[in-house]
Amino acid sequence: MSALTLAVREPETGRYSARVLGPELAGDEARTVAVLSDPAVLWTDPRWRRFVARTDLHEVRHLVVECDGSPVAVAQLLLTRAPGGLLFYDPPRLIGTPGAMADPAGLDEGDRRRWDELVAAVPQARAGQYPTLALATFGNHLGLSHAAGRTGPQRRAALALLPTLLDRAARELGCRSTALLYADDDEAGSLGPAASALGYRPALLGTEGVLRLAADSADGYLAEIGQRRRSRLRRELREYAAAGFTTVVRHGGAALAADVVALQVAHRAKHGLPGGEERVRQDFASLAEHVGDDCVLLGAQREGALAGFVLFVRRGPVLFARTAGFAPDPPGCYLALTYHASALWASDNGIRQIHYGLAAAQAKRARGCELEPRWGWFRFTGPASGVLAELVDLQDRGLRRQWHRCRGDRP
């Protein structure tokens, strides 16, 4: 693919271009991407990028942004050629699918009726949107990392170029729809105006739950949280113990054993995700290969068998939740393990933040997580694109209402 060239209006920021690399990187290309990646943040670690590239439900490209001939930023592009890709990274499928990224029940009556009308037309509208291209990476993260030493204005200039560069890459790759996904508030400040100027439709995609831990022990954590949260924690852990559960901790790639595979297969089937035992085994084998040394699995064990787990990947004082799986269990197993047992273990083991990902915002907020919005921008083409564009607006409206309810905002 030829280099994509774009001059920036503000002369002091330099002249920018971009190269689209991959999917396989070697030699100077691999070294360039590695230098621009940030190992301190899981989602932009070179090893994580390699793990994402190994997934067979999409193709991966690497967008390298250059300023005056020097590489200054890199992001992953996820190319899905036909329906059936990973839900959270397949732009046409992501729109109009109720669940973690859409809350049609939260719309008012008129909007809900319109949602139902549009959803009926979605299969035909989606069919003309493939191949599709998303700038994002696993973990529901934009996945952009900047070269060391880049100033705030320089970083914002690179961000503002991404919608144009994504469009040009999409044309070269023959894609009919595009999206920039999971930007945080800081990134959205530069991305949003640039994307809107090109006709992208913005949408809130959800809120990342982040638990911040100031104490260096479980006792310290219990002392620092408010009485209401402390009472909830103790009650839910009592129920957890009374149901016969104890918490076990496994480390490393070996933690992803057969019992974990079985729970993950059941989890994917329950939520309608691409699964099957062979796919889960491949996914876990790749995860173990690339970041296995940093895997931490907290499990709920009962009568000697694993009944549920949460898999984290550790980066220094930060835990990033990757996935979870639970067998049918008494209410509270998931909540007690995921939020309470994990927080107590983390406080005792030098962790200062736990990133839980999107969805279940109310449960996360009630258990001490801060909610950080994640934003996306979508552009569809063709005669049926209006159906998806209007659904983007309704999806955004429903999730904004959900977010405001979680925060306790007045209508």
pLDDT tens-digit series, residues 44-97? 999 999 999 988 889 999 999 999 889 999 999 999 999 988 889 999 999 998
User: What per-residue confidence (pLDDT) applies to 1?
Assistant: 47
Would the pTM count as exceeding 0.85? yes
Q: Does pLDDT of 14 surpass 90?
A: no
Q: Does pLDDT of 166 surpass 70?
A: yes
Q: pLDDT per residue over 75-86, tens digit each?
A: 999 999 999 888
Q: Among residues of the chain, what percentage have pLDDT more than 70? A: 94
Domain boundaries, the chain: 4-207+373-407, 214-351
- Return the ∠ at Cα 151 (arms to 150 and 153), rounded to 5°: 120
Split at pLDDT 50, 70, 90, the class of 200 is: very high
Determine the Cα–Cα distance for residues 4 and 78; give it in Å rounded to an integer.
18
Token pair recorded at residue 219: 């006792």
Q: Does pLDDT of 167 surpass 80?
A: yes
**Residue 20's closest CA among 90, 80, 85, 74?**
74
**Residue 19 contacts residue 5 (beta carbons within 8 Å):** no
Split at pLDDT 50, 70, 90, the class of 180 is: very high
Q: pLDDT per residue over 372-402, tens digit each?
A: 999 999 999 998 999 999 999 999 999 999 8
Q: Does pLDDT of 185 surpass 90?
A: yes
**Residue 200 contacts residue 95 (beta carbons within 8 Å):** no
Q: Does pLDDT of 13 surpass 80?
A: no
**Residue 131 contacts residue 176 (beta carbons within 8 Å):** yes
Helix 258-270 to helix 277-291 angle (10° resolution) is 120
Assigned fold of 4-207+373-407: Aminopeptidase (3.40.630)
Residue, of 54 and 344, whose pLDDT is higher: 344
φ/ψ of 213, rounded to 5, equals -120, 115
Domain 214-351: homologous superfamily in CATH: Gcn5-related N-acetyltransferase (GNAT) (3.40.630.30)
Q: pLDDT per residue over 303-315, tens digit each?
A: 999 999 999 999 9
Assess whether the region 4-207+373-407 and the region 214-351 belong to the same CATH fold. yes
Q: Does pLDDT of 299 surpass 60?
A: yes
**Residue 37's closest CA among 147, 116, 133?**
147
Which long-range CB contacts under 8 A does 303-309 form with residues at least 24 apart?
303/244, 305/259, 306/248, 306/259, 306/260, 306/263, 307/245, 307/263, 307/333, 308/263, 308/333, 308/334, 308/337, 309/260, 309/263, 309/337
For β-strands 370-380 and 16-21, DSSP reports them as unpaired
Q: Does pLDDT of 11 surpass 50?
A: no
Q: pLDDT per residue over 105-124, tens digit each?
A: 889 999 999 999 999 999 99
389-to-183, 194, 261, 384 alpha-carbon distances in Å: 19, 18, 38, 9
Split at pLDDT 50, 70, 90, the class of 293 is: very high
User: What per-residue confidence (pLDDT) applies to 233?
Assistant: 94
For the residues 167-177, what does the mean pLDDT come to?
A: 94
For the residues 254-280, what does the mean pLDDT come to?
A: 85
Q: Does pLDDT of 287 surpass 90?
A: yes
Determine the Cα–Cα distance for residues 150 and 188; give it in Å rounded to an integer.
18
User: What per-residue confidence (pLDDT) applies to 10?
Assistant: 47
